[in-house]
Every structure is written in structure tokens, then in C-alpha cells.
Amino acid sequence: MLLIPAIDIKGGQCVRLRQGDLTSNITVFNTDPVAQAKHWVDLGAQRLHLVDLDAAKSGKPVNLAVIKKIISEFSDDVEIEIGGGMRTLERVEQVLDFGADYVVIGTAAVKAPGFLHDVCCQFGGSVIVSLDAKDGMVMTDGWTKTTGHSAVDLAQRFEGYGVDAILYTDISRDGMLTGCNVDATVDLARHLSIPVIASGGIRDLEDIRKLLAVEDDGVTMAILGRSLYEGTLDFTEALKLVEESEGSED
């Protein structure tokens, strides 16, 4: 199980949201995202999940300089995935040229599947699709619009395009520290042959244990956000739990 600390960037600062709300419920946890990235790398992170929240809203790479600096300083040590505003081939190519390992495509994948297909054709091996769902149905546009499509149906379609993984978020739990929706996540993973990344609501070590129990079903990674920043989950302890689990399987 790969545990991936999230660094959400808005206005050049490391923040966390509740249920994706970009207008309120914003908490600043560090005014220096580069320092925050160093903190997670120093603790043993193997991958970082960076999101340009301003770009996700406007489509313009507002925090590109900060993201570029994080990539330049840490890409030799960890994998880096970038999300937020990935709506053009030029934008995708730009961050991959900076040295990012993966791009995370959300709303654009759902609303413009032809674009996603083109990205997979040109940048195969570096594409993650983020599906945000409520009651199993995928939402877009900052979680304000339902697509009428189930997460399973869209994920299977995108797997056929050649995406490398699906990042699945239960939006009712995101940023709420109410526990990961393991049942929905593992149900999705069982319908796919590509990995599923769990996200949304992960609170503590018990959630990590639940995810470890379904790793063989294809839930092989997890994004950790507010739990790390508010201290309900100790990253070092979580990594230790994963290591012990892997050791017991040998």
C-alpha cells in the first residue's frame, strides 16, 4: 500500500478543504508548500499528490511556479503527481516536462473523453483519472453537477483508453475525517484490472488497516490529506503499519 500525502495549493499556500468547497471552509496549514513537501519527503513519503486548486477552478496554472519548484527539488527522491486544471494537451505536457511522473485528470476526463483519449495516446504511463462520486454517481464541476454515470461504468471505459490508475473519492467524506468509504472503493477496484487510489475521509490507523485488508482487491494506494494536517493520523506510524503488513506477507 502506497500512502501519498496531499498538498493542495491555493494562493501559493498549502490548504485543505471540506467537501471540495473552494469558497469557504478553507484552512491554511502551511504558507510554504515547498517546506511542506520537504516535511513529507523527510518522513519517508514515496509519492506526493499536488493539486493546484486555483487552476482547478479557473483552468489557469496559477500556482505553477510553486509546483515547478517542488518538482525540481524532490522529483529525484519521490514520485510526483499533479492535478488541477489539466484541460489541454499543452498543460499536461508542460508539467510532465517539468519532471512530474503523473498527471491527474478530473472533470475534463468526464466532460471531454476525446481529450482523455488523446492524453493517453501521447502520454501513456503517466495518466491518472480522478472520479469524484456521491452515492456511486460521478460528479463534476467542483462536485456541483451529477453526470448520470456510475463510477464503475466510467472507470471501465477509461481503463479501455489506457489510464494507469483511478483515483476514487467519496465526496460526502472528503475532508470530513469520517472514515474512508472502503466498501465503495473496493467494489470499484473489483471491476477493474488497473489500480485504484482511495481518497476521502481517511482519518486514522484503523482506516489504513481497513485499506490494507483490501489491497489484494486492487486498492493499492491512498491519498492522505486532512488527517495528516490535523494530526488524527501520524504519517510515520501509518508507514510503519504498512511495512509491518508487507513483512507479514513475506
**In the annotation, is 42 catalytic?**
no
Nearest to 215 by CA among 232, 234, 196: 196
Please state, in angstroms and rounded to a whole number, the distance separating the CA atoms of residues 55 and 86: 8
**Annotated active-site residue in 8, 101, 174, 207:** 8
> For residue 76, what are the contacts with CB-CB under 8 A and spacing of at least 6?
none
What secondary structure letter does DSSP report for 59?
Answer: S
Q: Is 8 a catalytic residue?
A: yes
* CB-CB contact of 124 with 161 (8 Å): no
Residue tagged 503517466 (cell numbers): 126
- CA-nearest of 43, 20, 47, 242 to 164 is 47
Catalytic residue among 52, 54, 132, 170: 132
**Which residues in the chain belong to E strands, given as ranges?**
2-10, 13-16, 27-30, 47-52, 79-83, 102-105, 127-134, 137-140, 145-150, 165-170, 196-199, 219-224
- Catalytic (active-site) positions: 8, 132
